[in-house]
Homo-oligomer: A and B are copies of this chain.
Amino acid sequence: MVDAAMQSGTADRACLFEAFARRLPNGRRYGIVAGTGRLLELIQAFRFEDAELDWLRENNVVRQGTLDWLADYRFGGEIWGYREGEAYFPGSPLLTVESSFAEGVILETLILSVLNYDTSVASAAARMVSVALGRPIAEMGSRRTGEQSAVAAARAAYIAGFDATSNLEAGRRWGLPTMGTAAHAFTLLHDSEEDAFRAQVTAFGPGTTLLVDTYDIRAGVELAVAVAGTGLGAVRIDSGDLPTVVAAVREQLDSLGAVNTRITVTSDLDEHTIAGLSGSPVDGYGVGTSVVTGSGAPAAGMVYKLVAHKGDRGEDWIPVAKASAQKISVGGRKSAFRRLDATRTAREEIVDVQGVGADTPAGTSNESERELLVHLAHKGVPDERYLGHAGTLLAREHRAKAMQELPVQAFRLGLGDPVIPTTYR
């Protein structure tokens, strides 16, 4: 497309692209935006190096003039969007890119890959956090998604309210709290379960978490307390009918005097099994597959559409949209506001479709309409506040605030409509 547009003289036209989702996946009530801070860093670093340029040349993918343009590529446009961690609904204008056509269209795959994956994880994770009722919840799913996606998933889950991750690289890269645990292999490696427990307690002290279900859970719990003492930090259970097993283990721990020993459960948890444990004496959850694969919705359904461009004389914005019976898109630059009632509860997502003349998003809002768009990058330079460790923490904090505004119906797990309607004005 860039190659053809360079030939037809339209590659330099000023354009507005918008990323949004037409619907929430799986009958969910709300979604949580994630990936934005990570994306801003990737856009700033987006380059075509010699290896890529050589391959494009040798395979005649694009012409020499386009190769020259790619070699010099630096994104220099404007980006507005929802804060990372914000709640979103169908049609919410999550990211708006203003640049030349070529400069903006070439980012489409990067933008959608990051937003689709990270938002999918965060939207699933937020539901797990809300049903965990304040009990700690750790992301342990690295092995169930692509090896690089695993790092992004840990970050997205943390933004959505998870407390820690087992992915050490995510800890290093994004400043997340990390945790570790012993697997069955550690127990099986040793000549006996007792040897394994002793080795772990020697290395990490009695405050460690012992995995007690390698052979027999009842015998495992007894042995764990015998080896570590009643100061044992926690036991982990990774199999069995969890409500039954957890109740029995709690009773056993108490009877052994290990009244402060916590119970951590793992074992293919998702938002529904976590909700099913709300009445059980569980002290912490570890979640794997379901969180890193978006719990049934591994891509958030984001699209990236051209919504306006200027003509060759660079005068006014011309709103554009595909006219398809099934896929409604709304052209033009948008602003967005969340209407809050007197109790600061969200009641409506307002997408403000501005007139042809608008050159920046409208900045008007009033007490009961919280403005949702922020300026994420200016002349290609991202706003520092949204980057790195600090940006990740900021996103997590913003998510907590945004969740507090949602009507209580948002937290129902069953299928339903978005908890607030989206209105265009």
Q: Which residues of B contact A3 (CB under 8 A)?
A: 203
A101–B182 alpha-carbon span in the complex (Å) = 13
- Range for the number of chain A residues in contact with chain B: 35 or more
Check A189 against B306 for contact (C-beta < 8 Å).
Answer: yes
Q: Which of A62-116 contact B (CB under 8 A)?
A: 101, 105, 108-110, 112-114, 116
**Of listed A108, A112, A186, A304, residue having the most chain B CB within 10 A:** A186
A239 within 8 A of B: yes
A167-202 vs B, Cβ < 8 Å mask (1 yes, 0 no): 111011000001010111110111100010011101
**Of listed A8, A114, A150, A320, residue having the most chain B CB within 10 A:** A8
A52 within 8 A of B: yes
**Of listed A4, A52, A304, A326, residue having the most chain B CB within 10 A:** A4
Q: Which residues of B contact A425 (CB under 8 A)?
A: none
| Interface-lining segment among A10-18, A333-341, A410-418 | A10-18
Known: A4-B203, A109-B150. A184 touches B306 (CB 8 A): yes
**Of listed A101, A145, A294, A326, residue having the most chain B CB within 10 A:** A145
Chain B residue at minimum C-beta to C-beta distance from A304: B143
A59–B142 alpha-carbon span in the complex (Å) = 20
A315 within 8 A of B: no
A342 within 8 A of B: no
Find A142's partner among B109, B149, B178, B188 (CB 8 Å cutoff): B109
User: In the complex, what's the smallest C-beta–C-beta distance from A6 to chain B, in angstroms?
Assistant: 8
Q: Which residues of B contact A305 (CB under 8 A)?
A: 184-185
A24–B185 alpha-carbon span in the complex (Å) = 23
Find A56's partner among B8, B113, B168, B324 (CB 8 Å cutoff): B168
A216 within 8 A of B: yes
Which residues of A come within 8 Å of B, CB atoms?
Answer: 1, 3-5, 7-8, 10, 13, 15, 17, 42, 51-52, 55-56, 59, 61, 101, 105, 108-110, 112-114, 116-117, 142-150, 152, 167-169, 171-172, 178, 180, 182-186, 188-191, 195, 198-200, 202-204, 213-216, 239-240, 289, 292-294, 298-299, 302, 304-306, 309, 311, 320-327
